Structure 1
């Protein structure tokens, strides 16, 4: 086929047509865009576009415990006690287990320890910050502390405010006391304080087993194997405050060296060998969740 030829008139008419088409192009594109938009809206009409957002866990949330599991609550007192606190946290993180740190309020006056407390509070749901009083029982003068229930209760409230404790859970210094629904037990010396805290809606958590401090040192007394054996024995004998749950007490300061950090890691690894064992924070302890 040969090359077509056009008259001057035809060329002029085609040029005019193209100019008009280009001028109309933006309007055409806009109309097409509007039509596409409307079509999309029509197609989605009536559909629920609400996205499902996972609920962020908050301290004190209630969970369902598996009756076929054994729940282990690692609770570390007198926090923070550097370097032990940071070492314990690192071990817990590496091992992927949960733990509760019971903080002492007067630590808030030291900037580095205040930052540790803030960091623990922000690390939920792996770590929970709970209340171990402001003065640690008037600097370990427990008899005087519990003899004056008004000042003792105010001491706990002061700690809660300073440390911004997110839950109404207390461990009473120097006293293996328990308070919750249908339970109020512990030394008679602390009963008046327990009663006051109970009336105010607080839960008080004692302990079933302690990883003790070796006398005259800042080191754990029992070996990891001894602790695991003791835990298994308690479960087998059903000798715990709550069925299928055991509260372990220890202190940050006992694990301030690599040697004892390794002991803590081994302790957790031995417990993880039993598939029944689950590590939880103390806000998910049965006594705390029971209304």
Structure 2
């Protein structure tokens, strides 16, 4: 009898300890669950070989309209390209900046104003998600030296193969960006693809997957700009402006451009997020201005009869 009672006491004690441990574990899990609230966290801008889009950790943001198959109607009151008298004795350089608004937008806008030269910003609607970034867009619009252009709303979410699998989806993403940023021009650069549909001429990227989307856009009177030369992105140490200037002159003089005597240079917003790098942009502009043969223009002045 004594043995049985001891065994019962041991069983009761073990059961009690297991119950206490279970309660503590459940309480801990509940506490942890309360602490793990969904948050929106913005990381540094993603980089690939060509372009970028912010990565936002949330499922509540608008999804990529590439999933939509129905083409929506383009917005009305789109500005028509300017008719500019071009001088056949001159060479034209078009300063273009992708992926804004971002940290470099303020410096870009300031330098274009102070140097009184034209440039073009290819904007991503998905990136304009704070009050400050939206203000950069408005500041650009108030600057007569800036052409506003379309770099899609989603920037393909950096998933280019999927993005370009639907020409209609790309078109819808362009239209969505027009509405989001209130863009009134039809100048477009496709994400991570050097594609042209301008001046009754066309040129595809080496990957070819963006061609159907570019053809659809051109059919709807959009002007798709690639680039002739790139100031390679390195936000920590930019190449010397003199080197970039020499590259520009070499390509113009040797007719290594999409349109003879017209060179479009690709740069990225985040390259100029520091005062030091912004001054390198100014140095390049001064070098170009001091060349009597070169004229700095926005893409609205590019020879632009669409096929």
TM exceeding 0.5 = yes
Structure 2 residue 200 is matched with structure 1 residue 182: yes
CA distance in 2, matches of 1:165, 1:224: 31
- Give the structure with the higher percent helix: 1
Structure 1 residues 97 and 181, CA gap change in structure 2 (3 angstroms): closer
Give the distance between the partners of 2:263 and 2:141, measured in 1 at CA: 23
1:224 aligns to 2:241 (yes or no): yes
User: 2: distance between equivalents of 1:225 and 1:59?
Assistant: 35
Partner SS, residue 265 of structure 1:
helix
**Residue 130 (structure 1) aligns with:** 149
- Displacement, 1:107? 2.8
Change (3 A) 1:66 1:191: same
- Runs of 4+ aligned residues of structure 1 deviating over 6 Å after TM superposition are none
Give the equivalent residue in structure 1 for 2:134: 114
Partner of residue 47, structure 1: none
Alignment correspondent of 1:151: 169
SS in 2 for 1:155: helix
Counterparts of 1:190 and 1:119 in 2: how far apart (Å)?
Answer: 31
The residue number in structure 2 matching 1:198 is: 218
The Cα of 1:220 is off from its aligned counterpart by 5.4
| Aligned with residue 87 of structure 1, among 107, 119, 140 | 107
In structure 2, which of residues 77, 85, 93 is the aligned counterpart of residue 72 of structure 1? 93
Note the residue ranges of structure 1 that are not aligned, 5 or more in a row. Answer: 1-57
Distance 2:124 2:306 in 1: 26
8 Å CA contact 2:289, 2:296 repeated in 1: no
Residues 168 and 236 of structure 1, relative CA distance in 2, 3 Å threshold:
same
Output aligned runs, 1:1-291, within 5 Å. Answer: 60-82=81-103, 84-124=104-144, 126-137=145-156, 139-187=157-205, 188-214=208-234, 218-219=235-236, 221-286=238-303, 288-289=304-305
Q: Distance in 2 between matches of 1:252 and 1:280?
A: 18
Q: Please state how far the C-alpha of 1:109 moved relative to its aligned partner.
A: 3.1
- Unaligned runs of 5+ residues in structure 2 are 1-78
Deviations 1:19-46 (A, max 9, x none): xxxxxxxxxxxxxxxxxxxxxxxxxxxx
Instruction: Give TM-score scaled by structure 1 length.
Output: 0.74
CA RMSD of aligned residues (A): 1.6
Q: CA deviation at 1:289?
A: 4.8
The residue that corresponds to 1:54 in the other structure is none
Deviations 1:217-251 (A, max 9, x none): x2454210110010110011111111111000001
Q: Distance in 2 between matches of 1:101 and 1:255?
A: 13
